[in-house]
Structure 1
């Protein structure tokens, strides 16, 4: 069973999130009206942090599932386990969320198999029910349950996408990289580097993101910038930190790596 999920807990400390629009208000209304939510945006733009912040604000437990192409319906719903004294049913993360009124966050949902995604349909309309075929239980969602999915449209457009019949069951929210000053603030807050360094890192990122038109399939995320800032904070030279945390994870192409290194040299003179 290849499944990764977070613990079913309510976060006690507020996860830092800096809104750039009306996303907090929109999500709050979706939760109040039992509407499922689809978060769309590039890798590392803050989708996971946003949902962590909203779970804290709404005082709901959060269960996160990292989707992949081997994810089965049983991985989400549950299965019988064989023990020395017989068999016992174990709820999967989706069933646990439905039963306890938690927020269930399916990260990169299009990576899951289509037959797995279909099991979500009865939870995303007025029924708010989860049929558990193996036990015969028809489970009604507890108050507070909300289904949230995310994916990267730019990356998935070339590979997979959600069917229209699935997409129309969600309220879609478009998230993107933060405005310049906001991203600087996030890097300062998350890494502890000084303002000038955070400013330079965001300047570098904006230059690197323009390389997407020149063959770079993934652009540097805020997450990578924070990693570079943490390396620098720990004593690594800034150019080396940028290479290890930003350039090398993004590409092995000699031309692109050279172009990114040139931009680093131009940013940190």
Structure 2
């Protein structure tokens, strides 16, 4: 794993966004939808600022975190938040084991403790799905103190120099709740939009390298139309998910485009009218 100084040197060596984008897509990594997003997130990481990624489902937030992990050669511990998330899921738990013929109580370290001690990236996905009363335990981890007193063991843990926190949220989705101000203020926040234009085309060709030019163009048109209807309020955000679009395109290399879009995009939508609208948009480009 790179030290903080090595991270800074590595960051300075990235000369332009375009160069970084080409290299990362060749490695199967994240492609930034704007000229500055990738570089600005990296700078925040090097400055030890907790990063909050905001954006719709399928916009690439997890991919961005994974690419940062790869870029810095830094392992990542992941937490998938839900209403069932508790302190044990974050910090660890006590268990009874047999050792040298004796029964002892051992503490199994959770992702937060492991990431802090080993200098890993801690990725907290859908942080606004967790119960508000669960997360204050992380306040001292996320601010200038970068430390934690483990309530299960009494151990005081100071974060490794390379310890990094990246969180992600899907705003306004069912089951989510607004982040409280005390938690939100500990992050530097970035909006992660869907890919469009040349960046999306680059990802399509990387994901489906044997797809015909016509198929790529068809899905670019479909993507544009889906995004327009999302902006018009006629489709929910997930209809324009890049992840779903790429799934549909991969299927369409083997089955008709209409069926591929139906399975990968339309059938995921709860609203019958939305499903019908998606298929009508496809009919515009597929005869």
Please give the residue correspondences for 1:231-242 in structure 2 after superposition, counting only pairs within 5 Å.
231-233=251-253, 235-242=254-261
**2:190 maps to 1:176:** no
- 76-85 vs 47-56, which deviates more? 76-85
After superposing on structure 2, the runs of 4+ consecutive aligned residues of structure 1 that deviate more than 4 Å are none
Q: Is the 8 A contact 2:33 2:194 kept in 1?
A: no
**Residues 85-111 of structure 1, C-alpha deviations (whole Å, 9 max, x = no match):** 232100001111011000000010011
**2:236 maps to 1:216:** yes
Among 265, 279, 282, the alignment partner of 1:246 is 265
**Structure 1 Cα separation of the partners of residues 74 and 147 of structure 2:** 19
Q: Deviation of residue 206 (structure 1)?
A: 2.2
Q: Deviation of residue 217 (structure 1)?
A: 5.5
Q: CA RMSD in A?
A: 1.8
**Structure 2 Cα separation of the partners of residues 32 and 216 of structure 1:** 35
Q: Is the 8 A contact 1:39 1:174 kept in 2?
A: yes
What's 2:31 paired with?
18
What's 1:71 paired with?
85
What TM-score do the two structures reach when normalised by structure 2? Answer: 0.83
- For structure 1, which runs of at least 5 residues remain unmatched after alignment? 1-12
**Structure 2 Cα separation of the partners of residues 36 and 217 of structure 1:** 26
Q: How many residues align?
A: 254
- For structure 2, which runs of at least 5 residues remain unmatched after alignment? 1-25
Q: Secondary structure at the match of 2:143?
A: coil
What TM-score do the two structures reach when normalised by structure 1? Answer: 0.88
**Structure 1 Cα separation of the partners of residues 162 and 176 of structure 2:** 34
**Structure 1 Cα separation of the partners of residues 214 and 202 of structure 2:** 11
**Residues 13-52 of structure 1, C-alpha deviations (whole Å, 9 max, x = no match):** 9442212231222222222221100001110011111111
**Residues 210-244 of structure 1, C-alpha deviations (whole Å, 9 max, x = no match):** 333125363321100111111122x1111111111
